[in-house]
Amino acid sequence: MNIGEFNVRNGRLLGSIATRTIDLPRLGLRPVESDNDRAPVFEIIALNVGNRWVQVGALWEAVAKHTTGEVFLQGSIDDPGLAEPLPIALFGSDEDGYRVAWRRPQRRDDFGPAIRSGRAGDPSGDQGGFGDSTAGSDGGVMGDEQPVDDEIPF
């Protein structure tokens, strides 16, 4: 989803970002001069309420993983006034300007998918991985098992 743009004005890259809850009407991209390969390409700066430019983020160069090999900028905007950092990507060039895109990050599922295929050699053939239930229709234990003794403390 496109949420803003940056264009060259008076020799500087200036722009804005706006969403339903965020309005950053005066942003700038300040080039970072560094020999470090891991340094960002730009600092993202914003005009604060005191009319001063403050850093609110940074952008690094990235290459699309798809066959296009497109080079773009990615980073985030963060400020104590935001609930969480806003991840952004910029597509375009210094000469033609940049479109600011945002995409909700996909959360990693630490437990894996909810539906798993049956394991090889699983005699139950059950696709859920837990086998058949041992509870009867009344909720009690069914089968030849001994009754549960609720009088024994754990």
Question: What is the predicted pLDDT for the residue at 79?
Answer: 93
- How many structural domains comprise the chain? 1
**pLDDT band at residue 151, thresholds of 50, 70 and 90?**
low
- The answer to whether position 54 is within a domain reads yes
- The answer to whether position 92 is within a domain reads yes
- The answer to whether position 124 is within a domain reads no
Question: What is the predicted pLDDT for the residue at 102?
Answer: 92
> What span, in angstroms and rounded, lies between the C-alpha atoms of 101 and 61?
15
pLDDT tens track for 19-68: 999 999 999 999 999 999 999 999 999 999 999 999 999 999 999 887 78
Does residue 108 or residue 99 have the better pLDDT? 99
Q: What range does the domain containing 76 cover?
A: 2-101
- The answer to whether position 131 is within a domain reads no
The tokens describing 106, both together, are 């996909």
- The answer to whether position 39 is within a domain reads yes
pLDDT tens track for 101-146: 998 777 766 666 555 455 555 554 544 555 666 677 776 767 655 5
- The answer to whether position 8 is within a domain reads yes
Mean pLDDT over residues 71-75, rounded?
95
Question: What is the predicted pLDDT for the residue at 144?
Answer: 57
Largest Cα–Cα distance of the chain, in whole Å? 85
> What span, in angstroms and rounded, lies between the C-alpha atoms of 154 and 146?
17
- The answer to whether position 11 is within a domain reads yes
pTM above 0.75, yes or no: no
